[in-house]
């Protein structure tokens, strides 16, 4: 039987994830009203929304390994919420970029084709669109097992987001490399799952946590689902 605090956590995980996911946006809106967006607000917003998108994608990918290692299955609903927030920031990021380019479509197409970091950024965006669109329970029901296959694309999108960050940085590579290390760790933590070894499963069974039955293949529920 789940402990009292786990039952409470299961009730609050989704609102907490929404609040956490929207903090960067709240800070940007506050900055817009208080003149806190720096000398070049467009570039400031582009960088902050890009950073928030990548950070939330990493948080999304951390939910399943964390659940497996702790047996805390009440964490699962955070995946969809954090994933949708990540997609929100990617859309704000792309929109700010389009505003920055003055919606000069010919130049934007050239930029996407010719600048590798923009090419991989755009590809990551294109990969996230179907994940966001199919994030509803209806799509999960309709697609069945194909849904999980489709939502494994979140790994590629996150990897391209990290590459985008590494390629765009001119000097200080520390932040992009920290993201690359976190991404590599989150992928590595999934390898036991592929090999059928579940360190968290025994722990979950021992603690009698709700849903300690392994959710595989639901493990890769994308960041953008319930
Ligand atoms: C939709 C296509 C995308 C375009 C056109 C784009 C474009 C850009 C541009 C122009 C910058 C600022 C470069 C600079 O001022 O030096 C940037 C930064 C960034 N973008 Fe993107 N991006 C795209 C998609 C993405 C996606 C999908 C992610 C994450 C998943 C992402 C994450 C980032 C990050 C982390 C930064 C650096 C932020 C920082 O330095 O704090 N971008 N992007």
For residue 173, what is the DSSP state? -
pLDDT digits (tens, 9 = 90+) for 135-180: 999 999 999 989 999 999 999 999 999 999 999 998 899 999 999 9
Residue 80: pLDDT over 70: yes
> Does the beta carbon of 93 sit less than 6 angstroms from any atom of ligand 1?
yes
pLDDT digits (tens, 9 = 90+) for 106-118: 999 999 999 999 9
| The pLDDT of residue 158 | 98
Cα-to-centroid distance, 68 and ligand 1 (Å): 31
| The pLDDT of residue 194 | 58
> Does the beta carbon of 57 sit less than 6 angstroms from any atom of ligand 1?
yes
> Does the beta carbon of 44 sit less than 6 angstroms from any atom of ligand 1?
no
The closest residue, in CA terms, to atom 31 on ligand 1 is: 50
Neighbours of 192 (CB within 10 A): 16
The closest residue, in CA terms, to atom 7 on ligand 1 is: 118
Sorted by sequence, the CB contacts under 8 Å of residue 30 that are 6+ apart come out as 36
| The pLDDT of residue 117 | 96
The closest residue, in CA terms, to atom 21 on ligand 1 is: 50
Highest mean pLDDT among 128-132, 166-170, 216-220: 128-132
| The pLDDT of residue 202 | 53
Cα dist. 174→55, 161, 170, 221 in Å?
15, 15, 11, 30
Helical spans, DSSP H, in the chain: 4-34, 41-70, 77-100, 105-114, 116-133, 137-143, 145-151, 153-168, 174-188, 191-194, 199-207
The closest residue, in CA terms, to atom 30 on ligand 1 is: 161
Q: What is the average pLDDT score of the chain?
A: 88
Domain ranges of the chain: 2-192
Buried-state track 213-226, b at ≥16 Cβ within 10 A, e below 16: ebeeeebbbbbbbe
Q: What is the pTM of this model?
A: 0.85
Place 27 in a pLDDT band, splitting at 50, 70 and 90: very high
Mutate to test the pocket of ligand 1, among 41, 50, 105 (most ligand atoms within 8 A of CB): 50
> Does the beta carbon of 121 sit less than 6 angstroms from any atom of ligand 1?
yes
The closest residue, in CA terms, to atom 36 on ligand 1 is: 50
Residue 209: pLDDT over 70: no
Place 193 in a pLDDT band, splitting at 50, 70 and 90: low
């Amino acid at each position: 039987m789940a402990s009292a605090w786990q039952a409470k956590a299961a009730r609050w995980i989704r609102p907490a994830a929404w609040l956490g996911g929207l903090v960067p946006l709240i800070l940007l809106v506050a900055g817009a009203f208080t003149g806190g967006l720096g000398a070049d607000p467009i570039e400031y917003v582009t960088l902050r929304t890009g950073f928030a998108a990548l950070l939330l994608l990493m948080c999304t990918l951390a939910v399943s390994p964390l659940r497996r290692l702790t047996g805390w299955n009440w964490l699962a609903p955070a995946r969809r919420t954090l994933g949708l927030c990540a997609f929100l920031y990617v859309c704000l990021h792309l929109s700010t970029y389009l505003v920055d380019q003055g919606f000069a479509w010919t130049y934007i197409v050239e930029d996407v084709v010719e600048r590798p970091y923009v090419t991989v950024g755009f590809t990551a965006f294109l990969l996230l669109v179907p994940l966001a669109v199919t994030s509803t329970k209806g799509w999960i029901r309709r697609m069945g097992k194909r849904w999980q296959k489709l939502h494994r694309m979140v790994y590629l999108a996150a990897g391209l987001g990290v590459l985008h960050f590494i390629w765009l940085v001119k000097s200080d590579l520390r932040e992009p490399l920290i993201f690359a290390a976190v991404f590599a760790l989150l992928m590595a933590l999934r390898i036991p799952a592929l090999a059928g070894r579940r360190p968290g499963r025994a722990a979950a069974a021992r603690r009698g946590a709700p849903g300690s039955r392994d959710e595989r293949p639901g493990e890769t529920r994308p960041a953008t689902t319930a």
